[in-house]
A = this chain, B = another copy of it.
Amino acid sequence: MVSTKYKNMLSGKSIIRELAEFAAVRGQEIGYENVFDYSLGNPSVPTPAKLTETMINLLKTKSSKELHGYSPSLGIPHVKEKIALSLNERFGMNYRAEHIFMTTGAAGAISHAVRCITVPGDEILTFAPFFPEYMPYVNLTGANLKVVPPNTNDFQIDFEQFEEMLTDKVMAVLINSPNNPSGAAYSSATLQKLADLLYAKQKEYGHDIFLISDEPYREIIFGNVQMPYISSFYDNTISCYSYSKSLSLPGERIGYIAVNPACTDADLIVPMCGQISRGTGHNCPPTIIQLAIAEVLDIQSDMTIYEANMNLLYNELVSLGLTCTKPDGTFYIFPKAPIEDANAFCRKAMEYDLIIVPADSFGCPGYFRMAYCIDTEKVERSLPIIRRFIKENY
């Protein structure tokens, strides 16, 4: 019989989907260039030319079997080796190829990490605001995701509430820094305090508590913000990475898990991910994509556009009197709506062809998210619209 669990999920209404549909329909009516669509985190800057050239070169020079044959289920060894070396050089770690598991993006990485270190019924904590897909990512494995309420002062961690929720049942903590949707990056002070607390609680409870660190925005950092390497603070860290944002490749589904070499069972976690793959149908990311990214590990898409967009929006929103923490990175900004009901606020914005996302599903009601991975020219054109929308209504 058709599974009622998945069947029932189909009836869930999503305002994000409603917004995206509106944007598409409205785009056909008035031209998509006139719809100020801040709804989706689909990178707007192109992938580096070197990646495209590398793929063409692979297609022209490699044999079919080398290029398209089965690859090892844990990832292609020399690709993993290069990733380990790159992380070691940049972040002073000591990964070996055996600590890297190639995944279909961060979604694949988190899906494996959660299965690796929990059994059904275990709790995982995350912090609001959080990427809404964390709910199915975790809960469909049988573990339970619980959400620590947001610290809206600066979107660092509310340690008082966190400690209260960090019971014996919690087997992992899932963080995302720089954060979708807030744009905040955890400071060294925050990460040190987090690590200290986790070490203490591990000792108190007599079991491991893993830190699953979801880092697709790691390289999108603004101004002089320092972005510490999270795994260096806490041994039991499984870093989940995606090239979706840094190489503007979200559709190619490529990322990895990097297991801290000092982690419990550090040498088993990657082989265990290979076993988990057999049940999820994941079976390693495409050969050609693995081979291609190995050649461009230390270059990135041009991220300066996101910072320019952020500054334009931040200045405008603040000048309009909205409460807004200045993003440290990502391509999101996360202001407080001027009324309590951010859903109503975002629906009203649609009348101005302005597509912004209310943050209820991010665990932070009353706020809204703008994804500014769009052309700067369009951001500039949107500013008077945003101004008119706010002035005429609030």
Which residues of A are at the interface with B, using a C-beta cutoff of 8 A?
1-7, 9-10, 40, 42-47, 52, 55-56, 59-60, 63-65, 67-71, 103-105, 107-112, 115-119, 133, 136-137, 139-141, 171, 207-208, 248-254, 264-265, 268-269, 271-272, 275-276, 278-289
Contacts and interface: CB of A to CB of B under 8 A. Distances in A.
Nearest to A255: B281
A110 B280 CA distance: 9
Give the oligomeric copy count: 2
B2 A117 contact: yes
B171 A1 contact: yes
Given A268-B2, A272-B3, A272-B6, A104 B283 contact: yes
Given A70-B250, A107-B282, A136-B275, 6 more contacts: A1-B207, A42-B69, A46-B63, A68-B248, A112-B281, A252-B286
A325 to B, nearest CB: 27
Given A46-B64, A52-B59, A68-B47, A105 B283 contact: yes
Contact of A281 (B56, B109, B248, B249): B109
B6 A252 contact: no
A315 B263 CA distance: 55
A208 B137 contact: no
B68 A250 contact: yes
A7 B42 CA distance: 37
A248 to B, nearest CB: 6
Contacts of A117: 1-3
A252 B58 CA distance: 14
B281 A108 contact: yes
B55 A59 contact: yes
A275 to B, nearest CB: 4
Contacts of A103: 281
13 contacts: A1-B208, A2-B116, A3-B272, A6-B272, A7-B268, A47-B64, A69-B250, A108-B283, A136-B279, A140-B279, A140-B280, A251-B287, A252-B287
A373 to B, nearest CB: 10
Contacts of A207: 1
A105 B288 CA distance: 15
Nearest to A40: B70
Contacts of A109: 281
Contact of A278 (B104, B136, B279): B136
A322 B43 CA distance: 60
Contacts of A282: 104, 107-108, 280-282
Contacts of A7: 265, 268, 272
Given A10-B268, A59-B56, A251-B288, A280 B278 contact: no
A76 to B, nearest CB: 9
Contacts of A2: 116-117, 208, 264-265, 268-269, 272
Contacts of A47: 64, 68
Pick the most buried of A3, A68, A116, A285: most chain B CB atoms within 10 A of its CB.
Answer: A68
A133 B279 contact: no
What 3 pairs across the A-B complex have the smallest Cβ distances?
A140-B279, A111-B281, A251-B287
A281 B283 contact: no
Given A108-B283, A111-B279, A282-B281, A116 B250 contact: no
Pick the most buried of A3, A42, A288: most chain B CB atoms within 10 A of its CB.
Answer: A3
